[in-house]
Amino acid sequence: MGDARPVYQRIADDLRERIDGGDLSVGAQIPSRSQLKRAYAASDQTVDRAVRVLKAAGYAQGQFGRGVFVADRTPVG
């Protein structure tokens, strides 16, 4: 039986695990849309939704014209 999670959620969860595991460190660039599309056989909209989930959770931040990068989530104080 396959994974019941939507594809966008699987992508977001996989990236979150890579960030939490240290494979993608603070400041590292998240794989590009085309790389994620190929890796997950997903559409532009699905990949964009996954990245929005990461941004909303504070795991990533976009830099206009440069891409999406792992955000520093170290608690302040």
Q: 75 lies in a domain?
A: no
Q: 37 lies in a domain?
A: yes
Stated pTM of the model: 0.88
Q: Which domain holds residue 26?
A: 7-70
Q: 1 lies in a domain?
A: no
Phi, psi of 24 (to 5 degrees): -115, 110
Distance CA 18, CA 14 (A): 6
Q: 77 lies in a domain?
A: no
Burial of 36 per CB tally in 10 Å (0-12, 13-18, 19+) = buried
Q: 18 lies in a domain?
A: yes
Domains in the chain, number: 1
The model's pLDDT over 15-72, given as tens digits with 9 standing for 90+, comes to 999 999 999 999 999 999 999 999 999 999 999 999 999 999 999 999 998 999 999 9
Tokens in use for 69? Answer: 């990068």
Residue 45's domain is classified under what CATH number? 1.10.10.10
